[in-house]
Amino acid sequence: MPRRVYDVEERRTFLKSLGVFAVSCAAVPTSLACSTHQAEAQSDQPSTVEIATAQEPGTHIQISGTILDSNGKPVPRVKMFLYHTDATGYYSRPVNDPRQARLRGTLWTNALGQYSFHTIKPAHYGDITSPPAMHIHVHLQPPDMPDHWVESFYFKDDPRLRMDDDKRNSDFGRFSNIITLSASDTGVLKGIRDFRIDPALAERNKV
């Protein structure tokens, strides 16, 4: 999957605005971001996770997809770690710290390489004047590859999403990280994103 520059730029802009340096909010060290999730690595390794409960304020969404290798074959047992802001644009309170995100979760792809998670649509950052588009951070750890970050989930109807970013992703189809959400019978908005594992990207973006 090509590495798109805008995601990196937005991450750096956010860090600068918070006065944080030396740690990328998109590449949070596993020891910091995932330390509380070791207990989640249960023997059944769930391929579905509920990041936000039904009581969480906000627009509820469900995103699913399949993780494939370079030959288009499904990759099972890929660990996926996700985190994002709440409906007010905060990762945590009273200090807005992505390393302590309240809304976060871990899952593993099933035998068919499939994953699914239920959460809310994150808000734009609530503590800066010119925030980037709303997004969900994602790390992947395929078997025998390093834990690494990939482009965040973005949303097509976001007014802060740049037109050139949307256009650049228009040909990626289900592999686009800009998600189109559609209504469902349950009232939960649904979207799809597939991933293609890139060993070079995993090595470059490892955390």
64-76: average pLDDT: 97
Q: What pLDDT, on a 0 to 100 scale, did the predictor assign at position 8? A: 52
- Tell me the C-alpha distance between 167 and 185, whole Å: 30
Alpha helices in the chain (DSSP H): 5-18, 30-33, 163-169, 199-204
Q: What pLDDT, on a 0 to 100 scale, did the predictor assign at position 35? A: 38
Domain that holds residue 47: 5-27+41-91+101-204
Longest dimension (CA), the chain: 46
- CA–CA distance from 148 to each of 62, 80, 133, 137, 141 (Å)? 23, 10, 22, 11, 6
Q: Report if residue 164 sits inside a domain.
A: yes
State the pTM of this model.
0.81
Q: Report if residue 96 sits inside a domain.
A: no
Element (H, E) at 134: none
Q: Number of structural domains, the chain? A: 1
- The amino acid sitting at 176 is S
Q: Report if residue 34 sits inside a domain.
A: no
Element (H, E) at 101: none
Q: What pLDDT, on a 0 to 100 scale, did the predictor assign at position 171? A: 85
**Domain CATH number, residue 16:** 2.60.130.10
Task: Tell me the percentage of the chain whose pLDDT exceeds 90.
Answer: 71
- Tell me the C-alpha distance between 121 and 4, whole Å: 22
65-70: average pLDDT: 97
Q: Report if residue 149 sits inside a domain.
A: yes
- Tell me the C-alpha distance between 142 and 166, whole Å: 28
Strand partners, 107: 80
Q: Report if residue 17 sits inside a domain.
A: yes
